[in-house]
Structure formats: C-alpha cells, structure tokens
Amino acid sequence: MSRLGTLGARLYRGEVGYDFVGKRKLWYGISILITITAIVGLAVRGLNMGIEFSGGAVFTTPNTKVSSTDVRQAAEDASGGHTVVVQELGRGGMRIQISELGTKEALPVQEELAKELGVKTSKIDTQLVGPSWGEQIASKAWQGLAIFMVLVVIYLAIAFEWRMALAALIALVHDLTITVGVYALVGFEVTPGTVIGLLTILGYSLYDTVVVFDGLKEASKDITKQTRFTYSEIANRSLNSTLVRSINTTVVALLPVGALLFIGGGLLGAGMLNDISLALFVGLAAGAYSSIFIATPLVADLKERDPRMKSLAKRVKAKRAAAAKAETADSPAEEDDAPALEDAAAAPAGVVGQRRQPASRNRGRGRPSGKRR
C-alpha cells in the first residue's frame, strides 16, 4: 500500500488526525480575509464584461500576415477610441471585439480593417450584438443560479438537515465570491463560457461537501447514546476519515483543468478556454477548501447550540473529569515499584521498559552467592 493509502487508512480508523473543527476560528478568519479581498477587487476593478453582455461588434478576418498590434491600432482609430480586443485564431485569422459599437459605427471599422489587411470588405465577417441580448443572458444566468441554490437547500434539508443545508449554502456563496473576485483582479473577460464555468464549479463544490456530510451523518447516528465524544469531535473524526478522498478527487479534477488554463489558454491563446478554465480552476480549489475548512466546522458550530448536544458535551466532560480524578487517585506507586517507574520514564517514547519483580525474601537464603546450584 502506498504512503498516501496508509495515511488514509490511519485517518479513517482515527489513529491520526488534525483538529480542523477545533481550529475553526482560524479558518473563519482566513476565509473572511480572502472574501474581503475578493469583494474589494470586485468593487475597485470591476468585471471585464464580454461583448455578449455589454453589446458591440465582432469582426473576423481571413488569414493575414499583418500583426495584431497594427490591426488593433487601425480598429481603435476607426472606432473613435473604443476598447478593442484582438484574438489570434489558429487558422491565421483574427477576431476583433469592440464593445458598445453600434451599427453605423461598425461599417467604417469594417472598411478600415479591410484596407489595413488588403482584402475586400466582404471578406471581413461582421457580427453585431445588442446590449439587450446581453442583459437577457445575464438575467437568465442569475435566475438559473437562484433556482440552483434553492434546490440545493431543499435537497440537503431533506437528505440531511437544515444546519447542513445552511452550511453548504454559505460554502457555495464563499466559492462564488472568491471566483468572481479573482476574475476581477486578473481582468479576464466575462463571457457565456464564464457563466458555464461558474455553474459547473457549484456542482463540484457541492459534491465534495455532500461526501463529507454523508460521512458525518453516519458517524453521528445515535450520538446521544454514548459519552465518549462530543459532536464537534465526531465531526472532526468524520472529516479526517474523508480527507484523503477529498484531496484525491480535487487533485484529479484540477490536473486537466490546469492543463486547459496554462497550456490551452496560456500557450495556445485560446480565449474561450481561458474563460471556462479559470472559473473551474479557482472554483474547484475554493470548493475543496470550503468543504473541509468551512462547511463542516459551520455544521459543528450550529449543532453544538442544540440543547441535546449541549447536554452531551456536559456528560462527556463530566465522564472525562471523573476518569482523570480516578487516574490521579491510583497514580501513587509503592516504594518497591519506584525503580521500575524510573526505568519506564527513562525509556524512549513508545518503548516500555522491562518490569522489575520484587525479590523474594526466601530466594537465595543460605546461599552466599545467591545463585542456583
């Protein structure tokens, strides 16, 4: 078995573990700091809305040897200073996007581009996108997101309980906020591909959270019938038992998405891949983080306010106090056992020293050397 597999088995059995729930205030602080940074970036820089949302014109050119810098300059001069985005296509052509460009303004730009490239005007493919169409797309995206959130809350409330549904909803909002904030800070263009990526990461984030919640539900069954662990401790043990699975799932999902982002988008210059892969990459990482550091600790916080869980915590604390008191009462050792205790204390950690037996009073009597004959 590999080292990771061995670690996963030990985590599952509870032999080792990290106190995620106990240090939840630290994770809450980190999450709040990241969220504030994302919101500030969104407020200061804003989103670079694509032409599908803001409206404008898209010009597609045939194969050309003219540089993208010259094409951009020609388009800016012809459009009167509008923002121009030039994307080189794989077949040698170019895709020029100019936001907020009307029908009357598009014709001079088309003619200027044809002149710069040395081709006929008809060879420049022109598509006009009205702002009303972009508003409809944005409105439908928000409606789909709202319906998805409502269905998620209803499903989790039925399958698990309302506390888990609330925690999952907060984790989803956390993931969306971070992803949108990164988009604002990086300056990537928001396109329909971005919307698809955002909706996709909701499913991934929810999947990881449901896996953890399912293990927690099973582990906390009949929890009030025992006095060994509190709900927070059981939640932490359940989280550790699924930790390796969550990491493996996230890494396997991030590898192909990272290839799309850094190779497909970065090296090959595929714009649509950038839009989808950045949302997926950031969302998957944020979803894995929130399912481990946000969702489960939130459930533990909400659950510990339940009167039954408060009573359980008191009983667990009382039992441990009684056990510690009994252990303290039994701790004084007899004088004859003092050397054995000293040997045990001197032994390395995890090594038990050899226990000494008290010498018999009759052993060796009449034998000066004390040895057997």
What fold does the segment set 3-49+133-314 form as a domain? Multidrug efflux transporter AcrB transmembrane fold (1.20.1640)
Residue at 227: amino acid letter: T
The domain at 56-129 falls in which architecture?
A: 2-Layer Sandwich (3.30)
Question: What pLDDT is attached to residue 10?
Answer: 61
- Token look-up 């997926």 returns 280
Digitized pLDDT (tens) for each residue of the chain, 373 residues in all: 556 556 555 655 555 567 888 888 999 999 999 999 999 988 888 887 777 777 788 888 887 777 778 888 888 877 777 778 777 776 667 788 887 777 777 888 888 888 877 778 878 888 777 766 667 777 777 787 888 888 888 988 898 889 999 998 998 889 888 988 888 888 777 877 788 778 777 777 788 788 888 888 888 888 888 888 899 988 888 888 888 777 888 888 888 888 877 776 555 555 566 777 888 888 888 888 888 899 989 999 999 998 999 998 899 898 888 888 888 876 654 444 444 434 433 333 333 334 344 444 444 444 444 444 4
Q: How far apart are CA 191 and CA 198, in angstroms?
A: 11
Q: Which of 252, 162, 159, 144 minimizes the C-alpha distance to 202?
A: 144
Q: Give 99's strand partners.
A: 56
- Token look-up 């388009």 returns 75
3-state secondary structure of 371: coil
The separation between CA 77 and the C-alpha centre of its own chain, rounded to angstroms, equals 44
pTM score, whole prediction: 0.70
Task: Show the CA angle centred on residue 243, arms to residues 279 and 316, nearest 5°.
Answer: 130
Q: How far apart are CA 207 and CA 44, in angstroms?
A: 33
How is residue 81 annotated by DSSP? Answer: S
In order, the DSSP letters of 328-356 are HHT-PPPGGGHHHHHHHHHSPTT-PPPPP
Q: How far apart are CA 168 and CA 180, in angstroms?
A: 18
Q: How many other C-beta atoms can be found within 10 angstroms of the C-beta atom of residue 69?
A: 9
> What length is written for the chain?
373
* Tokens at 51, concatenated: 């032409």
Question: What pLDDT is attached to residue 351?
Answer: 35
Q: How far apart are CA 263 and CA 257, in angstroms?
A: 10
Domain boundaries, the chain: 3-49+133-314, 56-129
Provide the pairing of β-strand 84-88 with 94-99. antiparallel
Residue 189 dihedral angles phi and psi, to the nearest 5°: -75, 135
Question: What pLDDT is attached to residue 299?
Answer: 92
Q: How far apart are CA 129 and CA 231, in angstroms?
A: 55
Question: What pLDDT is attached to residue 30?
Answer: 92
Task: Show the CA angle centred on residue 48, arms to residues 44 and 54, nearest 5°.
Answer: 125
Residues 6+ apart with CB under 8 A from 208: 246, 249, 250, 287, 288, 291
Question: Are 2 and 11 spatial neighbours (Cβ–Cβ below 8 Å)?
Answer: no
